[in-house]
Structure 1
Amino acid sequence: MSDTAGEGVLEAQIEQWRGFVRRRRAIAPPDLEEMEDHLREQIADLGSNGLDDEEAFLVAVKRMGNLDEVSREFAREHAHRLWKQLVLVPEADDGAGGLARWRDLGAVLAFALGAGLAVKLLLTSVDDEFAQFRNLAFVVLPFLAGWFAWKRRVPWRVCAAAVGVAAVPALAVNLYPFETTSGPDPAPGMTAVLAFTHAPVLLWLLVGVLHTGGHWRSHERRMDFVRFMGELAMYLALIMLGSAVLVGLTFGVLSLVEIDLEPVMEDWLLPFGLPGALMVAAWLVEAKKSVVENIAPVLTRVFTPLAFLMLVADLTALLVNGPLTTVDRGLLILMDGVLVLVLFLLLYSISARDPLAPPNVFDWLQLALVGAALAVDAVALTAMLTRIAEFGFTANKTAALGLNLVLLVHLVWSAWLLAGFVRGTRPFAAVERWQTAYLPVYAVWAGLVVVVFPPVFGFA
């Protein structure tokens, strides 16, 4: 191996080590830099004694000691850091770091205000409620993507490419001649519903490209986006619950003095509050990720066994519901929703796990969860194929079938890799990489449903 190639491999190993250490909430960036300097000194010393780069790296990491013990020691010595991180903005004496945090907060509030104004403009300029709903993601997510592009300093070529790709579903859902059902209350056809429900999936994964700073090929950056999604859901849920309590109390108090807050709610609070909550939650994830990381493993350990029991109950309901041709379509749709939820739980569990820790009981439980999901998916697929054979293809049946096939491939290979890990024949890194490598498949599938399905099925 040439010196240049060897240096590239070593730098990749050190970058992987940095990503692992960054997950330790008590280790701040300056401490990480100091540890990396020490690691490089160790590697250089070992290299001068005749070891090659890979051997020197492994020995140096071993000499650095157990990182969990290092993290605990840092936490004992610098416990005040964790409390400071809970403050929304830094103290006045934080110097350049404090100014950067204030600048980030100001920027996210500006983007949140822009998103609120865009939603308000959409609601006031478009009378069709369906048109409002199908365009909501197109007026909110660009501001989140724009904030990431600003924060990560994403190259303009990447931004232009993301805008170009996002324009395709935007034009499709607004210009396709979708049919509507006849009757006193006309409703959009199935291809229209499929298009505007799948378009946000594609847009969200485009947001992920900008979240990675344009480095969408990087496994580590994609996994960071997975963590971001899980933590965003937690923060957003807390913000929405807290806001609901405050708004409810305000409604109650003002109703006693005969003040109607409902017009203000419809005209201002909802248009600005919902996108604002999304933007603020995203900012909190970025600013407080080191505080939330210790919550994520606890949540995944609580919900994984509950999800397993839920899947067993769902599988039983599918099997005892009579012949598969009589399985209710609504039940199959709910099963798809359950499988997607389980997939998110699997992704977040994997993203929150220590990749260097040995297999444990929780890994076996995850394998059981994936196995139960596979069983439910197999039964649902069989029911769908049976219904298609009897009644023929429709847009919604084809979309459900395709989603189940996409989920099946994801779950099958995840189960295979997890089984190898718990048996000690495969590293956990292989499980991680499969999750991030498969994410673009969902974007491709969502794009097909939005762009290809409507003309294929006659826009009905």
Structure 2
Amino acid sequence: MTVTNGQDELEDQFTRWREYVRRRPELVSSDADELEDHLRDSVDELVALGLRSDEAFLIAVKRMGGLDDLSREFAREHSERLWKQLMFTGDDGDGVRKSRSRSDLIAMLVCAAGAAVSIKVPELFGKHYDDDGTFYSVNFALFALPWLAGFLAWRRRAGAGLCAVLVAMFTLGAVGANIYPVADDSQSVGLTSAHLPLALWMVVGLAYVGDDLRSSRRRMDFIRFSGEWFVYIVLIALGGGVLIAFLGGTFDAIGVEAGEFIWTTLTPCGLVAATVVAGWLVEAKQGVIENIAPVLTRLFTPLFAVVLLAFLVTVGWNGRGVDVNRDTLVMFDLLLVVVLGLLLYSISARDPQAPPGTFDVLQLVLVGSALVIDALVLFTMTGRIAEYGTTPNNVAALGENIVLLANLAWSAWLLTGFVRKRGTFAAVERWQTAYLPVFAVWTWAVVLVLPPLFNYR
């Protein structure tokens, strides 16, 4: 227990140091990561010599000296990068920063254009966007997310090995989505359409973390990126909806029917391109969006907590169980995903050194209420499965609820310890980042395993 607490305290100190470093405008994220790696190596060396972790951290920071001095040292060693321009050439640093931003912009435009073109390629083989089939509903994410991953891999300067893994995973997703002989009305089609984007988003996460897959910090950064990306996608979609409405109205005013072009070309091309644009915006405008998403989290966390508590009180008052059918399962699964999303993003946006407060209690109430609801749904669901048998839909829903139940249960335990000041917030953060592979494994299992397991029905 002492070793665990010491490790938690050390991680808290690293977090505080990292927060300070990243506030420096001259340091980009990759440079801050390199500084932290340098500090961690120094701490490890001192601990190996017999020092306590807190002593080793203080000495290592002291050895590194002031941040400005260390920046100058990095500038000398990395002369081709932004450091030297910022530290030694004055105004030239703005030019280098603009050059880097311009190269990012060009890469984003290339990837966004690639996504827009790729979604029209199936038309060459007779697959049209306005067809009644399920091709685009199943494959839509495959036209967007590989290009976003490509942009992130380019920006991270990913090695050949990682790029090969990314290509292999997206290829596996494409094969799994199209190789099975499923009918358009098969339950497997709906499951693949819902789960393949989530599975591929985990592949995007590989591109985001680069070659630092085992780093809990980098995985938490990806969680933060996911929340910010979602906010930007919503904003772009709202703006795009207004643009499309004006476009249709103005062409109608001159007697030109633009509906088919808007539906079959502008909308799908705009949607897949927007996924790349949103990723670029998150990377380029982090300081802006970080002021928006945490506000949304703090707004909706108490609202959802009140709604879930009201639901549980109503269930207890009426004495009725949860009526589990297909629509109800979808609703509850979405509800639990939203709760988990609120928890994840509030964790990623929170100051780990801040003491427990009212908002942490509200989070505990939210997670506890969701946990009870999940248990009620699982209880009813297992009874119905035992009575009526299994289908792809109810097995997928059962698995998702079990995966969420495990996450919420341990999250509630760790949050309880933190609120009672018997644990650290770093433990809550580590649990969420360590659990990400579980979500990845389950979503891929739904896409690749369930269809043949149930004979493609």
Query: CA deviation digits over 1:5-46, x for unaligned, max 9?
Result: xxxx9998886444322554x65418998xx79x98xx99xx
Q: Does 1:149 align with 2:146?
A: no
Q: CA deviation at 1:58?
A: 4.2
**How far off its partner does 1:362 sit?**
0.5
The 2-side partners of 1:58 and 1:132 are apart by 56
Cα distance 1:397–1:11, how it changes in 2: closer, same or farther (>3 A)?
closer
3-state secondary structure, aligned to 2:144: helix
- 1:443 CA displacement: 0.8
Relative to structure 1, the CA distance from residue 10 to residue 251 in structure 2 (aligned partners, 3 Å threshold; closer, same or farther) is same
Aligned residues: 408
Of 338, 342, 350, the residue aligned with 2:339 is 342
Separation of aligned partners in 2, 1:113 and 1:441: 33
Instruction: Determine the C-alpha separation between the residues in 1 that align with 2:190 and 2:210.
Output: 32
Is 2:187 aligned against 1:190?
A: yes
Matched letter for residue 254 of structure 1: F
Q: Which amino acid aligns with 1:158?
A: L
User: Are 1:201 and 2:205 an aligned pair?
Assistant: no
Q: Is the 8 A contact 2:322 2:377 kept in 1?
A: no
Instruction: Kindly state the Cα deviation for residue 170 of structure 1 after the two structures are TM-superposed.
Output: 1.9
How do 1:26-37 residues align onto structure 2 when only pairs under 5 Å count?
A: 27-29=25-27
Deviations 1:110-129 (A, max 9, x none): 10000000011124532463
1:269-299 deviations in Å (ceiling 9; x for gaps):
1232111211111101000112222223222
User: Cα distance, 1:166 vs. partner?
Assistant: 3.0
TM-score, normalised to structure 1, is 0.81
Q: Find the aligned partners of 2:311 and 2:359 in 1 and give their Cα distance.
A: 22
Cα 1:318–1:11, aligned 2, differ >3 Å: closer, same or farther?
Answer: closer
Alignment of 1:285-434 (within 5 A): 285-315=282-312, 324=321, 326-434=323-431
Q: Are the aligned partners of 1:254 and 1:261 in contact in 2 as well (CA < 8 Å)?
A: yes
Change (3 A) 1:324 1:216: same
Residue number among 440, 447, 450 corresponding to 1:453 in the alignment: 450
The yes-or-no answer on 1:217 pairing with 2:221 is no
Cα displacement string for residues 302-339 of structure 1 (whole angstroms, at most 9, x for unaligned residues):
11011112323444566678754844431222011110
How far apart are 1:136 and its partner, in Å?
1.4
Distance 1:132 1:295, change over 3 A: closer
The answer on whether the counterparts of 1:219 and 1:433 sit within 8 Å (CA) in structure 2 is yes
Identify the residue that residue 5 of structure 2 maps to in structure 1. Answer: none
Structure-to-structure mapping, 1:8-87, within 5 angstroms: 16-22=15-21, 24=23, 27-29=25-27, 54-55=54-55, 57-58=57-58
Distance change (3 Å), C-alpha of 1:343 and 1:51: closer
Paired residue for 1:261? 258
CA–CA separation in structure 2 for the residues paired with 1:107 and 1:169: 24
Paired residue for 2:175?
Answer: 171
CA distance in 2, matches of 1:159, 1:122: 25
Note the 1:128-147 alignment, pairs <5 A. 129-147=133-151
What TM-score, normalized by structure 2, do the two folds share?
A: 0.81
1:112 is aligned to 2:112 = yes
Mapped partners of 1:13, 1:319: distance in 2:
41
When residues 59 and 368 of structure 1 are mapped into structure 2, their CA distance, relative to the original with a 3 A threshold, is farther
More off after superposition, 314-323 vs 263-272 = 314-323
Aligned residue for 1:29, secondary structure, equals coil
CA contact (8 A) 1:123 1:132 kept: no
Residues of 2 paired with 1:56 and 1:333: CA distance? 51
Say whether the 8 Å CA contact 2:294–2:349 is kept in structure 1. Answer: yes
Please give the secondary structure, in 2, of the residue aligned with 1:246: helix
Distance 2:18 2:421 in 1: 23
Q: 1:18 to 1:149 in 2, by over 3 A?
A: farther
Tell me the CA shift for residue 457 of structure 1: 0.8
Closer/same/farther in 2, CA of residues 272 and 61 from structure 1, 3 Å limit:
same
The one-letter code matched in structure 1 to 2:27 is P
Tell me, yes or no, if the aligned pair for 2:143 and 2:272 is still in contact at 8 Å. no
Q: Contact 1:19–1:220 at 8 Å: present in 2 too?
A: no
One-letter code aligned to 1:118: S
CA contact (8 A) 2:212 2:218 kept: yes
Q: What secondary structure sits across from 2:214 in the alignment? A: coil
Describe the shift of the 1:53–1:453 C-alpha distance in structure 2 as closer, same or farther (beyond 3 A).
Answer: closer
Task: State the AA in 2 paired with 1:371.
Answer: G
Secondary structure in structure 2 of the residue aligned to 1:95: helix
User: What is the deviation of 1:344?
Assistant: 0.7
The aligned residue for residue 101 of structure 1 is 101
Write the distance in 2 (CA, Å) between the matches of 1:311 and 1:122: 44
SS of residue matched to 1:357: coil
Q: Name the structure 1 match of 2:73.
A: none
The answer (yes or no) to whether the contact 1:21–1:27 under 8 Å persists in 2 is no
**Alignment CA distance shift 1:382-1:102 (3 Å):** same
Per-residue deviation, residues 408-430 of structure 1 (Å, max 9, x unmatched): 00000000111111111111100
| Deviation, structure 1 residue 145 | 0.8
Among the aligned pairs, what percent are the same residue?
Answer: 45
Q: 1:380 to 1:318 in 2, by over 3 A?
A: farther
- Residue segments in structure 2 that go unaligned for 5+ positions in a row: 1-7, 65-90
Change (3 A) 1:305 1:53: closer
